[in-house]
Amino acid sequence: MIDVADLVRRRGGRAVVDGVSFTVAAGEIVGLIGLNGAGKTSLIDCIAGLARPDAGLVIVAGHAPGSVAARRETGVLLQQPGLPARLTVAETLALFAGLHGVAVDERLAAALGLDALAGCRVDRLSGGQEQRLALALALQSGAPALVLDEPATALDPLMRRDLVTLLGERRAGGAAVLLATHDLAEASSLCDRVVLLHQGRLVAQGRPADLISATAATLADVVLTISGEPGR
């Protein structure tokens, strides 16, 4: 569903993504992990069509990223999702549903606790409420490919639990989910596979359990070991 091959993305002459290749199949959740500056967000920008790769190939649901067809097939949560500050939650959901050509998913909105916030203006939401709204916007299109950049940021433990349930349902429904996260526990429990980036390069990928048993006790140890900072 999501195919990345030899992807290179440069910024200021430096490769922030350097020859990365991996795939996310339908019905699979793949975790994208790495330290700050590893290249996760740049990689997601390329997959979402917001940045043009300098080399390599990205195919999303059979389409080039950024094309109308690809945007129709992809639900994206950005790390800093710009939201229409002067609209209410309900108006924002309706607007983005309309842009995707779908109806507002009331059940999803309720699952994310947005039904109680329907009349609140976006610029008066807390950080966690904004994140729930952004998640709803990414998920409500029902796209078969989901690209989520740190979806659990600012969410409380209850909502994190609900998020895991929601993503599990999407996986069961056949969606391909690419999940960039710093929450290694979440990645261990939720992801079928993880892709580990360090300084723009793919340094390891596989099932979390395999990576842990091969190198360390926890996924955090894996990241630190591979990143060359085992004592940190």
Partner 1 sequence: MMGRLLRANLLATARNRMALIYGWLFPLIFLASFWALYGDDPLPLALHAGQFFTITILGSAAFGLPTQMVAEREAGLWRHYALTPAPRWRFVLAMVLARAVLLAGALILQHLAARALGMPALPHPVSTLLALIVASLCFLCIGALIGSLVGNVPAVQALGQCIFLPMLILGGVAVPLASLPDWALPLSNLLPGRHAVVAIQTAVTGTGTQAAGFELAMLAGHAALALVAAVLLFRWEPGVQVQIGRRGWWLVLTAAMWLALAGLAHSRARPVPAPPDRAAAGVVADYVRGVGAPALPRKKLPVAQNHPRPLPPDQVRDRLQAGGGAVVPVPQPVPELPQELPAPDLDAIAFERLPPDAGLVAPIAAEPADAALANALARIERQLAQWPPAREGDAVQQVRNMLLIAAVPDLLQMDPLERHLPLLVEAQLQARFGALLPALLAQVALDPQAGSVAARADLPALGLPAHTGTEGPVRGRMMLYAFKLLGRVTGRRVGDPA
Interacting residue ranges for partner 1, rule: CB under 8 A: 48-50, 68-69, 71-72, 74, 76, 78, 80-87, 91, 94-96, 98-101, 121, 137
Q: How far is the CB of 187 from partner 1 (least distance, A)?
A: 23
Residue 219 · residue 187 · CB < 8 Å: yes
* Comparison of 59 and 94: residue with beta carbon closer to partner 1: 94
* Comparison of 90 and 203: residue with beta carbon closer to partner 1: 90
Q: CA-to-CA distance for 187 and 197, rounded, in angstroms?
A: 14
Q: What DSSP element (H or E) covers 108?
A: helix 106-111
Q: CA-to-CA distance for 188 and 192, rounded, in angstroms?
A: 8
Q: How far is the CB of 229 from partner 1 (least distance, A)?
A: 31
* Comparison of 11 and 161: residue with beta carbon closer to partner 1: 11
Q: How far is the CB of 98 from partner 1 (least distance, A)?
A: 4
Q: CA-to-CA distance for 179 and 78, rounded, in angstroms?
A: 11
Residue-level length of the chain: 232
* Comparison of 92 and 205: residue with beta carbon closer to partner 1: 92
Q: How far is the CB of 70 from partner 1 (least distance, A)?
A: 9
- Give the largest Cα separation in the chain, rounded: 51
